Amino acid sequence: MSTLLISGGTVVSATGRTRADVLVDGERIVALVEPGSTALGADLASSVDRVVDATDKYVIPGGIDAHTHMELPFGGTQASDTFETGTTAAAWGGTTSIIDFAVQKYGEAVETGLAAWHEKAGGNCAVDYGFHQIIGGVDEQSLKAMETLVDEGITSYKLFMAYPGVFYSDDAQILKAMQKAAELGLMTMMHAENGPAIDVLAEQLYNQGKTGPYFHGIARAWQMEEEATHRAIMLADLTNAPLYVVHVSAKQAVAQLAAARDRGKNVFGETCPQYLYLSLEEQLGAGGEDGFEGAKWVCSTPLRSRAEGHQDAMWAGLRTNDLQMVSTDHCPFCMKDQKELGRGDFRAIPNGIGSIEHRMDLLYQGVVTGELTLERWVELTSTTPARMFGLHGTKGVIAPGADADIVVYDPNGHTSIGYEQTHHMNMDHSAWEGFEIDGHVDVVISRGSVVVSDGAFHGRAGHGKFLKRGLTQYLS
C-alpha cells in the first residue's frame, strides 16, 4: 500500500472551498490537513511515497458520468467505444467512475442481458464502473427479475417511451414497472419522447424528400419531449415512484420538471453537454438541410434551436436545481461505416454523440463564463451523481474514508478540444471540434493510483472495479 500527498491546492466541494493538503493511503483518503501541516506527527511531504504539487490548482472529487453506453447495439451497428477505450478516455477527462446501461432486449431475460454486460466490462475498465438496467420488455418475467436488482448492486433501471419495436414501453407497461420500482425503492430512469408520434413525423418528412440529418431534430419536436415528460411525471405521481428523466433538451420539459418539483414530487432531471452548447442552427450550418456533416450531432433527444432559448434554459435549470446533473449519454459512432448508414435517410443514422472525455472541461467552461459556481460544477459532475445513484460517501467527495478518486484541475491551463488535439475516444471525428477550454485536467487519481499525469496515461484496463450501488440518497 503506497501513500500519496496532494499539496498546496484548493479543495473544492459542493458546499465550499478550502486550502488543504489531501493525504491518501492505499485506495482511500485518510486526512485533509492544513498545507505544510505536521499535525500527524511528521513532515508529511517527506514521509509519503509520492507528492503531487497542486499549487494554484483546484483539487476536486473525480467526475462520475452516470449515463454512458459502451458497446451498445443500435441501428445495425454498435457504439464504437469499448469499455476499455471509453473508460480510458473518461480518465483523460477527469472522470473516474461511470454508470453504464446493461441491456435487456425484448424477448430476452433481464439476467441474460445483465450477464452480457458484466462479460463486456469485467477486466476491461480503466476506471470504476456500475450499471443501470434497461428493461426493454416489461412483462411478468422482467417485473419479477427487477426484485433481484438491488442484491446485484443495481438500484436504478431505465424505460423508453421512444423507439417502438426496439425498447419502447407503453403506458400500461410503464405503470406496472413503476409500481414494482416503488415497492423495491428503485429509481426509474426515463427516456421521455413520444416515440410512436415521432415515427409518424419522421416518415412524413422522409416521404417529402426531407432526408438529411437536420430533419432528425425536426421530427423529434420539443412537443414530443414535453408531452412524454409530463406523462412520465403523472405516472410516477400515481405510483409514488421516484423519477429521473434522462437527457433533457427542451425548455418545456424543464418547465414540467420544475412544476412537479414545486409540488414536492421526487422528480429529477439530467441534461448533457450537447444541450448546453450545440444547436439545430449549427447542425443546419454544416452543409444545409441535405448536408451529411450534421450527422455527427444526431442524438436523441435531439439538439434544439438556439433561437428558441433551449440552451439558456438548460443552464438556468442547472442553477435553480430544476436539473440536478450533467451526464454525457456517451454513445459514440464513427462517421465512416456507422453514421453513414443513414445517408439518404436520417431515420437510419445511429443516434449518439461521444463526450465522455470532455464533460468536466465543458462544464468548467460554464464556470469561466459565469453560468455556474465552482461548487456547483463539482456538485453537478460528481457529488450529486454519487448521492443520486447510491455511491455517496465512497465517491463524489474528498473526505476521510472516501475512495481516493481525485482530479487536480489547473484553472490557468488551456485545453483545445478536437480530433487531433485531445481525442482519445474510439471515433473518427469529434463533435466538439474547435472548442476551447480555459482550464486543464492535470492529474487524475483513481482509488489512489495516478492514472493521468504529465500529459500521459499511466492507467490500465482491469484497474476499474464494479460498483455495487445502494439505494438513492437524493430525494427532493
The predicted pLDDT at position 1 comes to 76
Query: For residue 326, what is the domain's CATH number?
Result: 3.20.20.140
Q: Are residues 287 and 407 in the same domain?
A: no
End residue of a domain, out of 331, 361, 385: 385
One domain, residues 377 and 435: no
- Please say whether the dihedral angle defined by the alpha carbons of residues 355, 358, 363 and 366, taken in this order, is positive or negative: negative
77 and 45 fall within a common domain: no
3-state secondary structure at position 452: strand
The count of structural domains within the chain is: 2
Q: Are residues 133 and 257 in the same domain?
A: yes
Whole-number pLDDT of residue 45 = 80
User: d(Cα 323, Cα 254) in Å, to the nearest integer?
Assistant: 7
For 463-476, write each residue's pLDDT tens digit.
999 999 998 766 54
Name residues of the chain where pLDDT drops below 70: 37-42, 473-476
Same domain, 353 and 377: yes
In terms of residue numbers, what domain contains 305?
Answer: 62-385
Q: Which three three-digit cell numbers place residue 256?
A: 414540467
Sorted by sequence, the CB contacts under 8 Å of residue 416 that are 6+ apart come out as 422, 435, 436, 437
> Are 84 and 198 part of one and the same domain?
yes
User: Contact 113/144 with Cβ under 8 angstroms?
Assistant: no
466 belongs to a structural domain: no
Q: What is the pLDDT of residue 413?
A: 98
137 and 204 belong to one structural domain: yes
Angle at which helix 171-184 crosses helix 222-239, to 10 degrees, equals: 50
Tell me what pLDDT residue 40 has. Answer: 56
Please report, to the nearest 10 degrees, the dihedral formed by the alpha carbons of residues 91, 92, 95, 101 taken in order.
Answer: -70
Residues 343 and 449 reside in one and the same domain: no
In a domain, residue 475? The reply is no
My answer on whether 242 and 146 are in the same domain is: yes
Question: Per the structure block, which three cell numbers stand in for 1?
Answer: 500500500
CATH number at residue 439: 2.30.40.10
Same domain? 254 vs 311? yes
31 & 72 share domain: no
The tens digit of pLDDT for each residue in 236-287 reads 999 999 999 999 999 999 999 999 999 999 999 999 999 999 999 989 988 7
Q: If you write DSSP's letter for every residue of 191-258 in order, what string do you get?
A: E---HHHHHHHHHHHHHTT--STHHHHHHS-HHHHHHHHHHHHHHHHHHT--EEE-S---HHHHHHHH
Q: Give pLDDT, residue 88.
A: 98
- Determine the 3-state secondary structure of 367 from DSSP: helix
DSSP notation for 411-449: TT--EE-STTTT--SS-SS-TTTT-EES-EEEEEEETTE
Helix (H) / strand (E) containing 17: strand 17-19
User: Residue 399, Cα to own-chain centre: how many angstroms?
Assistant: 23
Residue 59 has what pLDDT? Answer: 98
> What's the pLDDT at 476?
47
Element (DSSP H or E) covering residue 120: helix 110-121
Give the N- to C-terminal CA distance of the chain in Å, as an integer.
40
